[in-house]
Structure 1
Amino acid sequence: MIYARFKDKKDIEKLRVTPLSDNIRSDQYFYEILVFTGRRSNAGTKSKIQFILSGTNDETNVRTFSDAYRKIFQRGGIDAFIMGVPKSLGLLNYIRIWHDNSGKGSSTSWYLKYIIVRDLRTMENFHFISQQWFAVEKDDGLIERIIPVASEIEKRKFSHVLSKKAYHSISDNHLWFSIFSRPASNKFTRVQRCTCCFVLLFTSMLLNIMYYDLSTEAKSSKKTHGSILSIGPLHITPEQIGIGIMVELLSLIPSLLIVQFFRRIRTRQQISAIYKTLYTIKPFLQISALFFAYCIRTSYEDEEANEYIDDNGIDLNNNKDYLHSIEYDSLYNFQSRKPANRLNENELANARQYRLKEIQMWSIIREFFIYLTFLTLICIIAYSNRDYNSFLQVHHLRKYFLNSRQINYDYTKISTINEYWKWLENSFVSNLRAQQWYNDDTLRNLNGYINDKSNRIIGWSIMRQLRVKTNLCSDQRIISKCKKDYSLFDEEKRLFQPGWINQISIEIEYSSSILKAFKYTTSDKLDTYIYIGQHETYSGGGYIYEFRGRLLDLKSNLSKLHQLEWIDDKTRAIFIQLTLYNPNVQLFTSATFLVEFLSTSSISPTVRFEPLNFYVFTSVLQLVCTILYIIFIIYFIIIEIRLLFQLKLNYFCQFRSLIELGIIVCSLGNVVVYLWRFQECKRISRLFKETNGYVYINLEFAVYVNDLLTFFLSFCCFFGTIKFIHLFRFNRRLSLFTETLRYARRELISFSIMFSIVFMSFLSLFYLLFVSRISSCSSLLSSAQMLCEMTLMKFDTSELIGADVVIGPLCFSIFILLVVFVCLSMFISIINDSFRYARENQIQDQDILSFMLNNLLHWIGIKMSSRSQIAEEQDSRMRSQYFDPIENFPDRIDQLLEVITRLYINQKADLLRLQKAGV
Structure 2
Amino acid sequence: MNLTLSELEASGWIDHKTRAVFIEFIVYNPNCNLFSVVVLLAEFTAWGKVDTSVKATTVRLLYTTTWSYIVLGFQIIFVLITFYYFFKEMRKVLLLGSGYFKMFWNVVDLCVCMLSLAEIGVTLYTSYLLVDFNRPHHKTTQPYSKYHQATSWYTIKTYVLGCLVCLATLKLLKLCLFNKFVERGAKVTKMAARPLCGFMLIFAIVFSSFAMLAFLLLGDSLEGYSSYISTMQTMLQMMLGSFDYYRVEGAHWILGPTMLFAFLFFFNFIIILMFLAILDEAYHSVKGEERLNGKSMNRKIADLASKRLENLLKTRNSSNDSKCIQGVPDTEEEKCDFSTLNNIAPLSRNGGEQQAEEGIYGKRHIESSHKRRSFFDLVCGRRSEKRSSNYEIRLLHYRPTSDVEARDCATCSDRYLEYAPEQTSTETRL
Other-structure match for 1:670: 119
Q: 8 Å contact 1:595–1:606 — kept in the other structure? A: yes
Query: What amino acid is aligned across from residue 758 of structure 1 in structure 2?
Result: V
The superposition leaves residues 105-126 of structure 1 with CA deviations (integer Å, 9 ceiling, x where unpaired) of xxxxxxxxxxxxxxxxxxxxxx
Query: What amino acid is aligned across from residue 614 of structure 1 in structure 2?
Result: L
C-alpha spacing 1:853/1:581, structure 2 compared with 1 (3 Å): same
Q: CA deviation at 1:697?
A: 2.9
Other-structure match for 1:816: 264
Indicate whether 1:607 and 2:54 are aligned. Answer: yes
Other-structure match for 2:415: none
Other-structure match for 1:652: 101
Q: 8 Å contact 1:575–1:595 — kept in the other structure? A: yes
The superposition leaves residues 613-662 of structure 1 with CA deviations (integer Å, 9 ceiling, x where unpaired) of 12248545323322322222223223323433454334323321222122
Other-structure match for 1:728: 176
C-alpha spacing 1:663/1:862, structure 2 compared with 1 (3 Å): farther
SS in 1 for 2:19: strand
Other-structure match for 1:682: 131
The superposition leaves residues 694-749 of structure 1 with CA deviations (integer Å, 9 ceiling, x where unpaired) of 98433111111111111121111111111000111110111111111111111111
The superposition leaves residues 153-182 of structure 1 with CA deviations (integer Å, 9 ceiling, x where unpaired) of xxxxxxxxxxxxxxxxxxxxxxxxxxxxxx
Q: CA deviation at 1:672?
A: 1.0
Q: 8 Å contact 1:857–1:863 — kept in the other structure? A: no
Please give the alpha-carbon distance, in whole angstroms, between the structure 1 residues aligned to 2:236 and 2:175.
Answer: 33
The superposition leaves residues 395-451 of structure 1 with CA deviations (integer Å, 9 ceiling, x where unpaired) of xxxxxxxxxxxxxxxxxxxxxxxxxxxxx64xxxxxxxxxxxxxxxxxxxxxxxxxx
The superposition leaves residues 455-488 of structure 1 with CA deviations (integer Å, 9 ceiling, x where unpaired) of xxxxxxxxxxxxxxxxxxxxxxxxxxxxxxxxxx
Please give the alpha-carbon distance, in whole angstroms, between the structure 1 residues aligned to 2:37 and 2:301.
Answer: 55
Superposition pairs of residues 527-538 of structure 1, within 5 angstroms = none
Other-structure match for 2:21: 574
SS in 1 for 2:256: helix
Residue 828 of structure 1: which of 257, 260, 276 is its match?
Answer: 276
Query: What amino acid is aligned across from residue 742 of structure 1 in structure 2?
Result: K
SS in 2 for 1:805: coil
Root mean square deviation, CA, Å = 2.8
Q: 8 Å contact 1:612–1:703 — kept in the other structure? A: yes
SS in 1 for 2:198: helix
SS in 1 for 2:234: helix
Other-structure match for 2:193: 745
The superposition leaves residues 582-603 of structure 1 with CA deviations (integer Å, 9 ceiling, x where unpaired) of 1222212111001222224332
Q: 8 Å contact 2:119–2:161 — kept in the other structure? A: yes
Q: What TM-score, normalized by structure 2, do the two folds share?
A: 0.67
What are structure 2's unaligned runs of at least 5 residues?
322-379, 382-430
C-alpha spacing 1:564/1:633, structure 2 compared with 1 (3 Å): closer
SS in 2 for 1:841: helix
Indicate whether 1:846 and 2:299 are aligned. Answer: yes
Query: What amino acid is aligned across from residue 794 of structure 1 in structure 2?
Result: S
SS in 1 for 2:280: helix
Other-structure match for 1:488: none
Q: CA deviation at 1:831?
A: 1.2
Q: What TM-score, normalized by structure 1, do the two folds share?
A: 0.32
Indicate whether 1:857 and 2:310 are aligned. Answer: yes
Query: What amino acid is aligned across from residue 169 of structure 2 in structure 1?
Result: T
Please give the alpha-carbon distance, in whole angstroms, between the structure 1 residues aligned to 2:317 and 2:159.
Answer: 51
Other-structure match for 1:591: 38
Q: CA deviation at 1:840?
A: 2.5
Other-structure match for 2:401: none
Residue 635 of structure 1: which of 84, 93, 111 is its match?
Answer: 84
Q: CA deviation at 1:846?
A: 1.6
Please give the alpha-carbon distance, in whole angstroms, between the structure 2 residues aligned to 1:573 and 1:864.
Answer: 85
C-alpha spacing 1:599/1:737, structure 2 compared with 1 (3 Å): farther
Q: 8 Å contact 1:579–1:589 — kept in the other structure? A: yes
Query: What amino acid is aligned across from residue 98 of structure 2 in structure 1?
Result: L
SS in 2 for 1:594: strand
C-alpha spacing 1:857/1:596, structure 2 compared with 1 (3 Å): same
The superposition leaves residues 300-338 of structure 1 with CA deviations (integer Å, 9 ceiling, x where unpaired) of xxxxxxxxxxxxxxxxxxxxxxxxxxxxxxxxxxxxxxx
Please give the alpha-carbon distance, in whole angstroms, between the structure 2 residues aligned to 1:806 and 1:564.
Answer: 56
SS in 2 for 1:818: helix
Indicate whether 1:713 and 2:157 are aligned. Answer: no
Query: What amino acid is aligned across from residue 854 of structure 1 in structure 2?
Result: K
Query: What amino acid is aligned across from residue 235 of structure 2 in structure 1?
Result: L
Please give the alpha-carbon distance, in whole angstroms, between the structure 1 residues aligned to 2:119 and 2:281.
Answer: 41
Query: What amino acid is aligned across from residue 602 of structure 1 in structure 2?
Result: K
SS in 1 for 2:22: strand
Residue 760 of structure 1: which of 183, 198, 208 is its match?
Answer: 208
The superposition leaves residues 549-600 of structure 1 with CA deviations (integer Å, 9 ceiling, x where unpaired) of xxxxx3xx54465678864442221110011211222212111001222224
Other-structure match for 1:793: 241
Other-structure match for 2:152: 704
C-alpha spacing 1:858/1:717, structure 2 compared with 1 (3 Å): same
Please give the alpha-carbon distance, in whole angstroms, between the structure 2 residues aligned to 1:771 and 1:598.
Answer: 20
Please give the alpha-carbon distance, in whole angstroms, between the structure 2 residues aligned to 1:572 and 1:558.
Answer: 15
C-alpha spacing 1:650/1:756, structure 2 compared with 1 (3 Å): farther
Q: 8 Å contact 1:771–1:779 — kept in the other structure? A: yes
Q: CA deviation at 1:856?
A: 2.0
Please give the alpha-carbon distance, in whole angstroms, between the structure 2 residues aligned to 1:560 and 1:640.
Answer: 60
SS in 2 for 1:754: helix
Please give the alpha-carbon distance, in whole angstroms, between the structure 2 residues aligned to 1:864 and 1:739.
Answer: 44
C-alpha spacing 1:792/1:695, structure 2 compared with 1 (3 Å): closer
Q: CA deviation at 1:860?
A: 3.5
C-alpha spacing 1:720/1:593, structure 2 compared with 1 (3 Å): same
Query: What amino acid is aligned across from residue 606 of structure 1 in structure 2?
Result: S
Q: 8 Å contact 1:858–1:864 — kept in the other structure? A: no
Query: What amino acid is aligned across from residue 309 of structure 2 in structure 1?
Result: L
Other-structure match for 1:622: 71
C-alpha spacing 1:632/1:565, structure 2 compared with 1 (3 Å): closer
Query: What amino acid is aligned across from residue 841 of structure 1 in structure 2?
Result: E
Other-structure match for 1:413: none
Please give the alpha-carbon distance, in whole angstroms, between the structure 2 residues aligned to 1:761 and 1:582.
Answer: 52
Other-structure match for 1:773: 221
Q: 8 Å contact 1:684–1:697 — kept in the other structure? A: no
Please give the alpha-carbon distance, in whole angstroms, between the structure 2 residues aligned to 1:673 and 1:598.
Answer: 37
SS in 2 for 1:689: coil
C-alpha spacing 1:625/1:803, structure 2 compared with 1 (3 Å): same
Superposition pairs of residues 540-555 of structure 1, within 5 angstroms = 554=3
C-alpha spacing 1:649/1:774, structure 2 compared with 1 (3 Å): same
Please give the alpha-carbon distance, in whole angstroms, between the structure 2 residues aligned to 1:634 and 1:696.
Answer: 35
Q: CA deviation at 1:863?
A: 7.0
Please give the alpha-carbon distance, in whole angstroms, between the structure 2 residues aligned to 1:665 and 1:605.
Answer: 39
Which protein is richer in helix relative to its size? 2
Please give the alpha-carbon distance, in whole angstroms, between the structure 2 residues aligned to 1:603 and 1:831.
Answer: 52
Other-structure match for 1:661: 110
Q: CA deviation at 1:754?
A: 1.7
Please give the alpha-carbon distance, in whole angstroms, between the structure 2 residues aligned to 1:839 and 1:824.
Answer: 23
Number of residue pairs matched by the alignment: 314
Q: CA deviation at 1:808?
A: 0.3
C-alpha spacing 1:601/1:820, structure 2 compared with 1 (3 Å): farther
